[in-house]
C-alpha cells in the first residue's frame, strides 16, 4: 500500500485512490502488524528463533568462506540490465544525491591573477605525489585517435581571473565492499596466475603500482558555469576554434571545451563562447575523481601456510 501511494503520479482517480487508501488504512495495518508480532512472541517462537540466529551468526561469522559467499551474492545482485537497449548489462552505480546537478548546494569559487602567479611558482602535493600545478596549461587532442599533445607557452596571464561553481558527489556501489582488500587471511589461486601471472591486485604504492586494480573512485568532482577572463585571448581563441573545428577538443587547466560524451543513445557536446575577454564554458562537466588507493592486496599474514586456505594444498 505504501509503495502504491508513493508511486502514484498525476491527478487521475486511480492515483488519488492509492494515496487515500494509504492515508486511511495505514494506522490499522500497523496495528495488525503489531498484533501479529505480539502473538508470535506469546507463542514462544520468536525469542527462540532470534536466539538460534544469534548463535549461528556468532559461530559462522568467524569463517571467511561465508563472508566470501556474501560478497559474491552482493556482486551478482548488483548486475542490472540496461533499459536503453534491453540487452547490455552493468553493475549498478549511482551518484548521491541523484538531484545534485540541479541542487543549490554548489560551492562558488573565484581565482584571480595574483593567485594564478602564486600557484605557478609553487609545488603542491594536493594533486598527487610532488605534482606541480600549472593552471595556464593548454592542451588539445584529436577526435578518436587517442593521441594527445600539450603546449605550455602561456605561463603569463594578463588580467586573469576565473570563477565557477563546483561540487563533490559521493559514488554509490551497493555491491562493492572494499574492506575485503585489507583482510590478511586470503590469497589468489592458480586461476589468477594463469590469467595475470604474478601481478597482484595491488602493490599498495601510489607511484609505481603494477597491480590489476590499483585504486577505485569514491567521489566525482563536477564544475559548472565556468568563466575565465584573460586580456590575451586573441591567439588562444583562434587556436581553440581551429582545434575544435578539426574534430578535437581543447583544455584550459582542468577544464575542457569541444569534447563530447555518449550515454546510451544520447550524445552531448561541451559548448563555449566568448564575451569580450571572458571565455564562458556552458553547462556542467566532470573534471576529476577522488580515489582510494588499494593497499597491498593480497597480503596474507606470514603465519598462514598454503594448506590453511580453502582449496589450498
DSSP string, 63-87: -HHHHHHHHHHHHHHTEEE-TTTSS
Does residue 310 lie within any of the structural domains? Answer: no
Judged against a pLDDT cut of 70, whether residue 295 lies above it is answered with yes
Question: Are 127 and 119 spatial neighbours (Cβ–Cβ below 8 Å)?
Answer: no
Q: pTM of the prediction?
A: 0.60
| Together in a domain, 251 and 109 | yes
Q: Which grid cell is 179?
A: 574492506
**pLDDT reported for residue 120:** 45
Give me the residues paired with residue 167 across strands.
222
Most confident range (mean pLDDT) of 135-149, 214-228, 234-248 is 214-228
Does residue 74 lie within any of the structural domains? Answer: no
| Together in a domain, 118 and 224 | yes
Mean pLDDT over residues 207-223, rounded?
Answer: 90
Query: Residues with Cβ < 8 Å from 216, sequence gap 6 or more?
Result: 176, 178, 291, 292, 294
**pLDDT reported for residue 202:** 94
| Together in a domain, 102 and 239 | yes
| Together in a domain, 136 and 38 | no
Domain residues for the domain of 213 are: 93-293
**pLDDT reported for residue 222:** 92
Does residue 20 lie within any of the structural domains? Answer: yes
Biggest CA–CA distance in the chain, Å, is 85
Q: What are phi and psi of 31, to 5 degrees?
A: -65, -40
| Together in a domain, 229 and 269 | yes
CA gap 256, 107 in Å, rounded: 20
Does residue 305 lie within any of the structural domains? Answer: no
Judged against a pLDDT cut of 80, whether residue 102 lies above it is answered with yes
| Together in a domain, 248 and 288 | yes
| Together in a domain, 56 and 117 | no
The number of domains in the chain is 2
| Together in a domain, 16 and 58 | yes
| Together in a domain, 40 and 97 | no
| Together in a domain, 33 and 164 | no
Question: Are 147 and 252 spatial neighbours (Cβ–Cβ below 8 Å)?
Answer: no
Q: What share of the chain is helix, strand, coil (3-state, %, to 5)?
A: 35, 30, 40
- Cα 105 to Cα 100, 281, 289: the distances in Å are 8, 20, 18
Task: Determine whether 285 is exposed, middle or buried from the number of CB atoms within 10 Å of its CB (0-12, 13-18, 19+).
Answer: buried
Amino acid at each position: 500500500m505504501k509503495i502504491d501511494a508513493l508511486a502514484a503520479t498525476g491527478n487521475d482517480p486511480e492515483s488519488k485512490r492509492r494515496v487515500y487508501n494509504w492515508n486511511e488504512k495505514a494506522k490499522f495495518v500497523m496495528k495488525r502488524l503489531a498484533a501479529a508480532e505480539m502473538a508470535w512472541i506469546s507463542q514462544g517462537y520468536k525469542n527462540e528463533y532470534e536466539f538460534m540466529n544469534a548463535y549461528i551468526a556468532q559461530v559462522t561469522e568467524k569463517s571467511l568462506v561465508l563472508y566470501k559467499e556474501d560478497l559474491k551474492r552482493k556482486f551478482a545482485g548488483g548486475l542490472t540490465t540496461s533499459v536503453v537497449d534491453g540487452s547490455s548489462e552493468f553493475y549498478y552505480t549511482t551518484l548521491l544525491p541523484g538531484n545534485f546537478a540541479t541542487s543549490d548546494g554548489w560551492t562558488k569559487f573565484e581565482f584571480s591573477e595574483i593567485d594564478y602567479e602564486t600557484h605557478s611558482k609553487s609545488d603542491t602535493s594536493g594533486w598527487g605525489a610532488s605534482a606541480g600545478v600549472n593552471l595556464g596549461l593548454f592542451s588539445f587532442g584529436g577526435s578518436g585517435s587517442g593521441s594527445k599533445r600539450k603546449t605550455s607557452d602561456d605561463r603569463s596571464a594578463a588580467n586573469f581571473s576565473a570563477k565557477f561553481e563546483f561540487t563533490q558527489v559521493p559514488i554509490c556501489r551497493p555491491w562493492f565492499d572494499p574492506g575485503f582488500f585489507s583482510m590478511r587471511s586470503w590469497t589468489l589461486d592458480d586461476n589468477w596466475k594463469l590469467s595475470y601471472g604474478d601481478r597482484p591486485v595491488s602493490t599498495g604504492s601510489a607511484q609505481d603500482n603494477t597491480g590489476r586494480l590499483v585504486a577505485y573512485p569514491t567521489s566525482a568532482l563536477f564544475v559548472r558555469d565556468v568563466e575565465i577572463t584573460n586580456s590575451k585571448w586573441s591567439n588562444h581563441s583562434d587556436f581553440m576554434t581551429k582545434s575544435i573545428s578539426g574534430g578535437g577538443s581543447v583544455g584550459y587547466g582542468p577544464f575542457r571545451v569541444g569534447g563530447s560524451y555518449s550515454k546510451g543513445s544520447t550524445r552531448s557536446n561541451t559548448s563555449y563562447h566568448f564575451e569580450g575577454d571572458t571565455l564562458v564554458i556552458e553547462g556542467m562537466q566532470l573534471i576529476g575523481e577522488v580515489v582510494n588507493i588499494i593497499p597491498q592486496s593480497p597480503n596474507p599474514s606470514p603465519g598462514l601456510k598454503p594448506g590453511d586456505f580453502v582449496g589450498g594444498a
